[in-house]
Amino acid sequence: MTDKTADVIVVGGGVVGLWTAYHLAQQGVRTLLLEQFSYPHTRGSSHGQTRITRTSYSEPEYAALMPEAFQRWKDLQDEAGKELYINTGLLTVYDFVKKKEEFYSMLDNLSTHKVNHYVVPGESLSQSFPGLSFPAHCKGIFDADSGILLADQCTTALRHLITRRGVDLHEGEPVLSIKPINSKKVIVKTSKASYSSASVVLTCGAYINKLLETVNLKIPVQPVRVELTYWKDKSPEKKYSALNKFPCVLVAESPYYYSTPSHEYPGLIKISYHGGTPCDPDSRDHLTPDTARESKQNMEFIKDKVRSTFPDADASQPAITEMCMFSETPDSNFALDFHPKYKNIVIGAGFSGHGFKTSPSVGHILANMALSQQSAYSLESFSLKRFDTSSKL
């Protein structure tokens, strides 16, 4: 028996699900948001104290998402009445010999979106940004408008905002199955009740395929266990601090690594490898011999990068290691599309470790899809058609 109805049900209350519910509520849509864990929790991809936000993308489809995203984050900060964003700037560093084309693509995108930026020659990187060391063949792009989002505070502010605007938010209520009835009705069964809606948006992160299998679909999204590492700043003046105007840093190697200035833990700079080891989200911290070996290799990689790139950080071992998950697609691009058979089941998945910053815009896209409205963005790069999806349809 179905207990309640809504116009749209959003499954997954991480940052993308929260922004999707926000945009639905903005349009007066009766919205139910279901989150399997109780807040706050560390079992997904949206927790943590900081995330980088940037327009500095070489891919135009991602840069295009950022003007709206920046404005939405600013609006949320104003409404919350507390600081959610810190403008530190972002330095992206390229090996100019190997990645010249990507370098110029990023410059073009920054110019297109009128972002305040400038180029830093390799020989000037260390002088311009004391505490960094790069070879002369590198070049940097400094994006002055970028910075860090205070992630946990952002999601808390969003939860408060959407519930004030009428979203019915249920936490600690896992969804067990999705059952499409027809083009205007879907039944969602949880651990506590059954609900009906005209459409459903799935923003389940690493758990996406556990629900998609109930509608005979599997997409190539691999949950990944990620270690976020913080390193001691050895410099007397704490040069890696956000208070001392040290920027976020992204080193565009393959694989790339990044840093955020010390903020959440005074005297500790976050420097992390962008990637991790495959995992089951229900047993994220269990390592097999193969994944344990890969995790050790990743740690040695980032230690070497801390030693060579951040000479004033203690590279002997991280002072703090925290865990989270990515949901990686084969090409690291998002998956934003409809179920191949059921057009009232909307899929938002595969954010591959760079979905937090774009979530206001992505939530807008998913809300429009649920309401059969035209998106303002080109979605071709995010289509499921690029995958060889596994389906029993």
Model confidence pLDDT, tens digit, residues 330-385: 999 999 999 999 999 999 999 988 999 999 999 999 999 999 999 999 999 999 99
Give the pLDDT confidence score for residue 154 in this predicted structure: 97
Task: Show the CA angle centred on residue 287, arms to residues 278 and 250, nearest 5°.
Answer: 50
Which residue has better confidence, 393 or 77? Answer: 77
**Percent of the chain whose predicted confidence (pLDDT) is above 70:** 98
Residue position matching structure tokens 């070049």: 139
Give the pLDDT confidence score for residue 44 in this predicted structure: 78
**Rounded Cα–Cα distance for residues 42 and 317 (Å):** 23
User: Where residue 253 falls among pLDDT bands split at 50, 70, 90?
Assistant: confident
Q: What is the pLDDT of residues 141-157, one digit of tens each?
A: 999 999 999 999 999 99
What mean pLDDT is reported for the chain?
93
What is the mean predicted confidence (pLDDT) over 17-23?
98
Q: What is the pLDDT of residues 207-250, one digit of tens each?
A: 999 999 999 999 999 999 999 999 999 999 999 999 999 999 99
Does the pLDDT value for residue 3 go beyond 70?
Answer: no
Question: Residue 91's closest CA among 139, 136, 123?
Answer: 139
Give the pLDDT confidence score for residue 279 in this predicted structure: 86
**Rounded Cα–Cα distance for residues 232 and 317 (Å):** 9
Q: Cis peptide leading into 289, omega within 30 of 0?
A: no
The burial class, CB within 10 Å (0-12 / 13-18 / 19+), for 255 is: exposed
Give the pLDDT confidence score for residue 2 in this predicted structure: 54
**Rounded Cα–Cα distance for residues 117 and 143 (Å):** 5
Q: The tokens of 161 are what?
A: 């905002």
Tally of CB atoms within 10 A around 353 = 20
What is the mean predicted confidence (pLDDT) over 17-42?
94
Q: Where in the chain are the domains?
A: 4-46+152-220+331-391, 222-237+256-328
**Rounded Cα–Cα distance for residues 356 and 354 (Å):** 6
Hey, is 212 helix, strand or coil?
A: helix
Q: Point out the least confidently predicted range of 175-189, 252-266, 305-319.
A: 252-266
Give the pLDDT confidence score for residue 392 in this predicted structure: 44
- CATH of segment(s) 4-46+152-220+331-391: 3.50.50.60
Q: What is the pLDDT of residues 78-98, one digit of tens each?
A: 999 999 999 999 999 999 888
Q: What is the pLDDT of residues 289-342, one digit of tens each?
A: 888 898 899 999 999 999 999 999 999 999 999 998 999 999 999 999 999 999
CA 71 to chain centre: 17
360 backbone dihedrals φ, ψ, rounded to 5°: -60, -40
What is the mean predicted confidence (pLDDT) over 245-269?
93
* Dihedral angle of Cα 186, 188, 193, 198, to the nearest 10 degrees: -40
**Side chain identity, residue 140:** G
**Rounded Cα–Cα distance for residues 285 and 35 (Å):** 21
Task: Show the CA angle centred on residue 245, arms to residues 240 and 248, nearest 5°.
Answer: 65
**Side chain identity, residue 312:** D
Does the pLDDT value for residue 389 go beyond 70?
Answer: no
Give the pLDDT confidence score for residue 329 in this predicted structure: 95
User: Where residue 393 falls among pLDDT bands split at 50, 70, 90?
Assistant: very low
In this prediction the pTM is: 0.95
Q: Cis peptide leading into 236, omega within 30 of 0?
A: no
**Side chain identity, residue 337:** D
